[in-house]
Amino acid sequence: MEVPILKQGEFLIATFQAALSDQDLENLRRGLVQQVVKFRSRGVIVDVTAMDVMDSFASRTLREIAHMIRLRGAETVIVGIQPEVAFAMVQLGLTLEGVAAALDLEEGLAYLIEKFKNID
């Protein structure tokens, strides 16, 4: 299953559908970084609203994605983590450390805009 990646100005928005396989996550990791390079994006929003579980593989992949994107000089924000999922994640020790998180798409965009306002 492919993850749709949309362009919104300087930012990219990747929207997870529910139940992504490990292969999907792998593909996303490669695809997303390629898109950042192609469009010279400054920020990426990964919307996981549709995910009702987050396992350690998905969590690690998200961190790796954020890391790789930062190496390209861009910032990543994860948005839409559901309360139940957040609770389950921290109990498993999956805290997505080092990766920014926001409540939803609106907040995610506000975060990125704020971040780059300060830099410019």
89 binds other proteins per the rule CB under 8 A: yes
| Integer Cα distance of 96 and 85 in angstroms | 12
How many residues touch other proteins under the rule CB under 8 A: the total is: 17
Does 114 sit near other proteins (CB under 8 A)?
Answer: no
Q: In terms of CB distance, is 44 or 78 closer to other proteins? A: 78
Stretch that binds other proteins, among 7-15, 20-28, 67-75, 80-88 (CB under 8 A): 80-88
5 versus 48: smaller Cβ distance to other proteins: 48
Nearer to other proteins, 66 or 89 (CB): 89
Q: Does the protein bind other proteins through residue 45 (CB under 8 A)? A: no
SS (H, E, C) the chain: CCCCEEEECCEEEEECCCCCCHHHHHHHHHHHHHHHHHHCCCEEEEECCCCCCCCHHHHHHHHHHHHHHHHCCCEEEEECCCHHHHHHHHHCCCCCCCCEEECCHHHHHHHHHHHHHHHC
Residue ranges in contact with other proteins by CB under 8 A: 78-79, 81, 83-84, 86-87, 89-91, 95-96, 101-103, 107, 111
